[in-house]
Amino acid sequence: NVTYDGGAVYAFTDLTISASSFTLNESLHYGGAIFVFDGAVDIESSTLTSNTGTFGGAVYMNAGQLTSVDSRFVGNRATDGFGQGGAINAPNVTVETSDFVANTTGMDGGAIYAYEELGVETSTFTSNQAVNGGALYAALIAHIGESDFTGNDAMSAGGALFVYRDGAGPEEMDV
């Protein structure tokens, strides 16, 4: 599937995805597989593989909360030189027992770019790549616990995690 926004799914409001697979979808702009304008997105027991978008290789959210549980994001790409979020680009992201492998972006957050709040528990991040935040890029608030980071690569700063807030540091960070 190829389209301008949301290679497979374009939603204006809440979205629940369960036991599903999104593979080889392409967006010429936002969200290689999924674009959500505003709302809550729940992804459970699903796999998103080899999706590409300018921003958010697999998923892009304009506003709202994304929650991923027991899911895998593999080989997704944010293709623009200033693209963010190889797998996920969203304001608020919560991830539990999920795997992120070989996701890439041309700028920030090889796996996840969260520009408000990021929470990660018992998840793995392997071989993701970005300029800043090889695996994760968070602005404002980051909570990371019981997770594994292996072989992630940032060309500039934060091989696993980059947390930034307008030069003043994060509002809150637990690692």
pLDDT in tens, 129-159: 999 999 999 988 899 999 999 999 999 999 9
Q: What is the pTM of this model?
A: 0.94
Exposure letters 122-143 (e unless 16+ CB within 10 A, then b): ebebbbbbbbbbbbbbbbbbbe
Q: Which of 88, 93, 87 is nearest to 116 (CA)?
A: 93
Exposure letters 92-117 (e unless 16+ CB within 10 A, then b): bbbbbebbbbbbbbbbbbbbbbbbeb
Q: Which of 100, 84, 68, 60 is nearest to 138 (CA)?
A: 84
